[in-house]
Amino acid sequence: MDVMKRSSIRKTILIIAGIALFFLPLGIMNPYFMYIINLILIYALLALGLDLIVGYTGQVSVGHGAFFGVGAYVAAILAKKLGFSFWLTLPLSIVVTAVIGFIIGFIGLKLIEEYLVMATLAFGTIIWLVFLNWTDLTGGPMGIAGIPAPPTVKIGSFEYSFLQYHDYFPLLLIFVYLGILITRLIIKSGFGRACTAIRDDELAAQAMGIPVFKTKVTMFTISAAFCGAAGGLYAHFLHVVSPETFAFGMSVTILTMVMIGGQGSVAGAIIGASILTVSSEALRETPELRMLIYGFLIVVMIMFFPKGIMGLFQMLKKRFLQRNVQVEKTAVEKEGLSYEQ
- Residues 209 and 251 grouped into a single domain: yes
Any domain includes 113 = yes
Say whether both 322 and 262 belong to one domain: no
In the chain, where do the E strands start and end? Answer: 144-145, 153-155, 158-160, 240-241
For residue 64, tell me if it sits in a domain.
Answer: yes
Yes or no: say if 146 and 80 are a contact pair by the CB < 8 Å rule.
yes
| Same structural domain, 268 and 121 | yes
Structural domains counted in the chain: 2
Nearest to 68 by CA among 124, 122, 23, 109: 124
Half-sphere exposure of 279 (CA within 13 A, CB side): 18
Q: What is the pLDDT of residue 158?
A: 82
| pLDDT value at 197 more than 70 | yes
Same domain, yes or no, for 233 and 129? yes
In a domain, 257, yes or no: yes
Residues above pLDDT 90, as percent of the chain: 48
| pLDDT tens-digit map of 43-83 | 999 999 999 999 999 888 888 999 999 999 999 999 998 98
Cβ-based neighbour number of residue 146 at 10 Å: 9
Which ranges in 209-262 belong to alpha helices (H)?
212-238, 248-261
Q: Both 327 and 302 in a single domain?
A: no
Would 94 be classed as within a structural domain?
A: yes
171: CB partners within 8 A, 6+ apart: 150, 162, 233
pTM greater than 0.85? yes
Report how far residue 228's alpha carbon sits from residue 231's, in angstroms, rounded to the nearest whole number.
5
Same domain, residue pair 136 and 221: yes
Residue 319 has pLDDT above 90, yes or no: no
Residue 269 and residue 319 share a domain = no
Q: Which residue range forms the structural domain that includes residue 338?
A: 313-341
- In this structure, the answer to whether residues 198 and 317 fall within a common structural domain is no
Sort 136 into a burial class: Cβ within 10 Å, 0-12 / 13-18 / 19+: exposed
Burial class (CB in 10 A: 0-12, 13-18, 19+), 339: exposed
